[in-house]
A and B are shown apart, each in its own frame.
Chain A
Amino acid sequence: MAGKLKLYYFDGRGKMESIRWLLAAAGVEFEEEFLETREQYEKLLQDGSLLFQQVPMVEIDGMKMVQTRAILSYIAAKYNLYGKDLKERALIDMYVGGTDDLMGFILMFPFLSAEDKEKQRAVIVQKATSRYFPAYEKVLKDHGQDFLVGNNFSWADVHLLEAILMVEEKKSDVLSGFPQLQAFKARISSIPTIKKFLEPGSQRKPVPDDKYVETVRRVLCMYYDIKAN
């Protein structure tokens, strides 16, 4: 059905959150179907809606898209958030790759044991402050522009803001020592579409809790222990 944009995932962040961010940043409305039961998931499987038997799945422009990165790239290109040429796209892809790796450390966090959570929190902060944040701080300092790539708002900016906020949830003063990123955070947060997404009542999902972990485990029959990487 033309115009219908629908997200299929759990009622929580996980791998779908970056997609919610990007759509919201682009000012695009979307519907969501939340997986609560194993039966819902099995129905999607039986209907052949999940190419590799996995969610996220996004119905967009007549396609049932899976694979988070593919979905994000399509949305970025469609809504002109992917730079003006191949080289700008290369930079955006590189930067998004980095923030993706950083957020990957946080993705599994809710599934860890209490003891592993403490260790992982330290890993997240260490990676953020010694590997990732310095890289983006330098990019912004070197060109002195408002946005990461091509002096234009892009997917890279949305993804970096998302990552910054997620790391701050683990350590609130993590941006001290990164003045460019502090200014970046303030700037991007005040872009109207993003500002709206950051307000209560938006489709942004809260920090994952035990209920979310329970739901994922139940729907995916994923009862094994998750170890930190």
Chain B
Amino acid sequence: MSGKPRLTYCNGRGRMEPVRWLLAAAGVEFEEIFLETREQYEKLIKDGVLMFQQVPLVEIDGMKMVQTRAILSYIAGKYNLYGKDLKERALIDMYVEGITDLMQMILLFPFSPPEAKEKNLDSIKERATNRYFPVFEKVLKQHGQDFLVGNKFSWADVQLIEAILAVEEKIPAVLSGFPQLQAFKIRMSNMPTIKKFLQPGSPRKPPPDERYIETVLKIFKK
């Protein structure tokens, strides 16, 4: 056992991508096991390693962790990306939860029927530009600091840069009108661990394609 965290998921973004981002941002190396077949998944269930029969699964510090939020909170806590006290943690949690609601729309997008895709894309754009981005634009403008919470790099910053890039993939000009977020994006992208994660060859996964969707549906069909 290498001591590195081990991630089990499909070979694609899905619910595991925020975990890859956070580990990478913290400078933590990890291994990955990719689910390709239903049999692999059924074996995991039979072996009793998936508490609720679901992935993501992250084996870390002797635990077989499931539930994305639990995994992310643990990593944030362990690697000092969770603020300095309860109140900073509350802010980070609020920001992360809001961003997660936006990311959820992107997560589900590839699985929506073709006739609903245009409407869903409009919804993503509407939410990003009217509900979520204005909040973080305002937070950054008001305190004028480099990071969202407590003048220190945290999980909230990682989650936000991930979301910005994911939305931009769908709506390239989405940050026009958000100068603070544009500057934030550049700043975060230049942080050494994040810069490395954004380079080719990193564990970062590409946007979901047909093959990924097929694999997910095949493995998790009810």
- Contact residues of A with B, CB < 8 Å? 51-53, 61, 63, 65-70, 73-74, 77-78, 86-87, 89-91, 93-94, 96-98, 101, 131-132, 135
Contacts and interface: CB of A to CB of B under 8 A. Distances in A.
A94 B132 CA distance: 27
By DSSP majority rule, is chain B's interface helix, strand, loop, or mixed? helix
Contact of B69 (A52, A61, A69, A131): A69
A98 B51 contact: yes
27 contacts: A51-B98, A51-B135, A52-B98, A52-B101, A52-B131, A52-B132, A61-B87, A63-B90, A65-B94, A67-B98, A69-B69, A69-B93, A69-B97, A70-B93, A70-B97, A77-B89, A86-B78, A87-B61, A89-B77, A90-B63, A90-B65, A90-B70, A90-B74, A94-B70, A96-B70, A98-B67, A135-B51
Q: Which 3 A-B pairs have the closest CB atoms?
A: A97-B67, A93-B70, A70-B93
B50 to A, nearest CB: 10
Interface of B: 51-53, 61, 63, 65-70, 73-74, 77-78, 86-87, 89-90, 93-94, 96-98, 101, 131-132, 135
A73 B98 CA distance: 15
A53 B89 CA distance: 21
A135 B52 contact: yes
B93 A73 contact: yes
A166 to B, nearest CB: 17
Given A70-B96, A93-B69, A93-B70, 18 more contacts: A52-B132, A52-B135, A67-B93, A69-B69, A70-B93, A73-B90, A73-B93, A74-B93, A77-B89, A89-B74, A90-B63, A91-B63, A94-B65, A94-B66, A96-B70, A97-B70, A98-B67, A101-B52
Given A51-B98, A53-B131, A78 B86 contact: yes
A77 B92 CA distance: 14
Nearest to B98: A52
A2 to B, nearest CB: 14
A69 B93 CA distance: 8
Contacts of A63: 87, 90
Nearest to B63: A90
A74 B77 contact: no
B67 A94 contact: yes
Nearest to A92: B70
Contacts of A78: 86
Contacts of B135: 51-52
